[in-house]
Chain A
Amino acid sequence: NAGVTQTPKFRVLKTGQSMTLLCAQDMNHEYMYWYRQDPGMGLRLIHYSVGEGTTAKGEVPDGYNVSRLKKQNFLLGLESAAPSQTSVYFCASATPISTRGPDTQYFGPGTRLTVL
């Protein structure tokens, strides 16, 4: 199993450009998450999904959109990139524990995005 993979690994954008980050997992997990990591701030949740076709906002959703058309994929879109979106982006996935919600989250290797 590859686990959680992210594409691309690195990207440089100019302000106003758009792009899509792809997260894929082969563990048949229901839950998927997008986080951003900034120095000294830990990880902050952008959007998440509790199953195919469903998405919801996290802590810092502004400027981002997501889609979960297939169970194994979770896409994060930036419609008009801004320098404040320069960050490292991590995707994670988890499987449910009966009715108690998701089990341990497993993370991808990250995408380093720079917006000039």
Chain B
Amino acid sequence: AQSVAQPEDQVNVAEGNPLTVKCTYSVSGNPYLFWYVQYPNRGLQFLLKYITGDNLVKGSYGFEAEFNKSQTSFHLKKPSALVSDSALYFCAVRDRGSTLGRLYFGRGTQLTVWP
């Protein structure tokens, strides 16, 4: 069965410090992995995805994520956090073998960056 775990409900970090939002996954085959961000009262916005190739994926707004197959993780990172990064972040996984493309989402991590 496919599943995604985001072990931290909340992450708090000071502006200018590096941030990490954790994600681990379980799929029956090889994964496609995604990060989305949700600002208050808005829909989900796509940040980045891992399909194949380089394990370090760069995305929008200076975010990047590292795919680690042995640890089945796909942590989201940013070298220097901004107050405007405060939002709800979702990790999602899709089985590469599924042509239906169903995404399985984690429960979300609320990131707060304080000035």
Contact = CB atoms under 8 A, between A and B. Distances in A.
Interface residues of B, number: 24
A109 B103 contact: no
Given A104-B34, A104-B49, A45 B43 contact: no
- The CB with the most chain B CB atoms within 10 A, among A45, A94, A99, A107, is that of A107
Contacts of B4: 42
Interface of A: 4, 31, 40-45, 48, 50, 56, 58, 90, 92, 94, 99-102, 104-110
Q: For chain B, what secondary structure do more than half of its interface residues adopt (helix, strand, loop), or is it mixed?
A: loop
Interface of B: 4, 9, 34, 36, 41-46, 49, 90, 94, 96, 98-103, 105-108
A90 B101 contact: no
B107 A42 contact: yes
Contacts of A99: 99
A105 B90 CA distance: 13
